[in-house]
Amino acid sequence: MSHTHVIALGVVTAWAVFAYAYLGVEDGSSGLSPLGWVQGVIFLPGGLLMQALKGSHRNSDLPVMTAVGWLAYSFLAVAIVWMVQAMRQGVVGNGVNLHGERNE
């Protein structure tokens, strides 16, 4: 795992911690602020899983929903970093650097 993977996982972890800590700050009665939307998206994978498994979810399920969201977005972040590194290696490995110049 490269330092780029660790940075991506750190960003997802910070997002999950922020989202869980931000719970209850907004009630959504007058619409969500951008922070409310950022916070709410982390719960989407866990909420969908709870809906599929149990048919509903409660406030007591929020830690599990956060963990599932963290896992899903961590996997996505690592996959994106891996793909970007693979594309970059493909460009650099073909004798052309990222600026379109030939490597010697």
DSSP codes of every residue in 45-98 = HHHHHHHHHHS---GGGHHHHHHHHHHHHHHHHHHHHHHHHHHHHHHHHTTB-T
Question: What's the pLDDT tens digit per position in 28-87?
Answer: 666 778 888 888 899 999 999 999 998 888 888 889 999 999 999 999 999 999 888 887
Q: What is the pLDDT of residue 40?
A: 85
Whole-prediction pTM:
0.76
104 in a structural domain: no
pLDDT confidence band for 92 (50 / 70 / 90): low
Whether the predicted pLDDT of 3 surpasses 80:
yes
9 in a structural domain: yes
CA 96 to chain centre: 32
Q: What is the pLDDT of residue 55?
A: 86
Query: For residue 21, with 0-12 CB atoms within 10 Å meaning exposed, 13-18 middle and 19 or more buried, which class applies?
Result: exposed
Domain that holds residue 56: 3-23+32-93
Our count of domains for the chain comes to 1
